[in-house]
């Protein structure tokens, strides 16, 4: 399996993903509220793993520029359609990875990654790429499932679902392990919150600053 196969999986899934409903709308709204409060009007923002653009379209109007990127061209095509129907100045969608963007000279004041970090194949490399594209003192804001803290049955079922093409690659780590990896990549953890409105919350909202 490779990054290319991951892109194909999400391309195939893009239309169904676009039709799916957010499982915890109240928790999602809380995440948007907290993220918006951390962003400034003159910020340049990068969102990684933007999917079909729902979050970008909610947040982009509050900042100077907003680049929303995703591995999947299929996801980006749907996001572009939404943007055409609801244009927002300063918002751009692009099929790209953190590693590809790190090879460019552009820097950002904040990097967002929601339901994203558990899907990358080399988390250490991705965090280093995020660190490199952030301006000094820039923020990493992320909320992602920590499968290591979830029901073990999920971890047992995942490989079987992946074998039959029903699940993407997903890294298994706990919230503590994720925080340690973020710190090791050159970030200071500023805070960790839980935003779920129901059930056990295994998706910590983490804010970290580039050191």
Tens of pLDDT, residue by residue over 34-81, are 999 999 999 999 999 999 999 999 999 999 999 999 999 999 999 999
Q: Count up the domains in the chain and report the number.
A: 1
Name the pLDDT band for 105 (thresholds 50, 70, 90).
Answer: confident
Q: What is the CATH number of the domain that holds 47?
A: 3.40.50.150
State residue 165's pLDDT score. Answer: 75
Please state, in angstroms and rounded to a whole number, the distance separating the CA atoms of residues 146 and 126. Answer: 16
Q: What are phi and psi of 160, to 5 degrees?
A: -65, -40
Q: Quote the CA–CA distance of 131 and 129 in Å, as a whole number.
A: 5
| pLDDT of amino acid 163 | 78
Token pair 């996801």 in the structure block, residue: 75
SS3 state at 192: strand
**What number is the average pLDDT over the span 148-161?**
80
Measure the CA–CA gap between 89 and 3, rounded to whole angstroms: 31
Mean pLDDT of the chain: 94
- Can you give the residue range of the structural domain that contains 163? 3-210
Q: What is the pLDDT of residue 65?
A: 98
Rounded to the nearest angstrom, the gap between the alpha carbon of residue 94 and the centroid of all alpha carbons in its chain is 14
All residues at 6 or more sequence positions from 16 whose CB lies less than 8 Å from its CB, including other chains = none
């Amino acid at each position: 399996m490779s990054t290319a196969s991951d892109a194909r999986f999400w391309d195939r899934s893009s239309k169904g993903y676009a039709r799916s409903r957010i499982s915890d709308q109240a928790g999602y709204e809380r995440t948007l509220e907290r993220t918006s409060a951390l962003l400034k009007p003159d910020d340049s923002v990068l969102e990684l793993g933007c999917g079909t653009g729902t979050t970008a379209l909610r947040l982009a109007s509050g900042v100077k520029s907003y680049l929303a990127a995703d591995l999947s061209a299929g996801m980006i095509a749907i996001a572009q359609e939404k943007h055409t129907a609801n244009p927002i100045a300063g918002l751009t969608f692009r099929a790209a990875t953190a590693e590809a963007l790190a090879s460019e000279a552009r820097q950002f004041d904040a990097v967002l990654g929601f339901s994203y970090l558990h899907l990358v194949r080399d988390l250490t490399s991705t965090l280093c790429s995020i660190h490199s594209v952030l301006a000094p003192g820039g923020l990493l804001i992320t909320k992602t499932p920590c499968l290591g803290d979830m029901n073990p049955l999920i971890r047992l079922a995942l490989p079987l679902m992946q074998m039959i093409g029903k699940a993407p690659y997903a890294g298994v780590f706990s919230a503590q392990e994720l925080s340690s990896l973020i710190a090791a990549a050159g970030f200071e953890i500023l805070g960790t919150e839980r935003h779920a409105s129901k059930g056990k919350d295994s998706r910590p909202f983490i804010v970290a600053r580039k050191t």
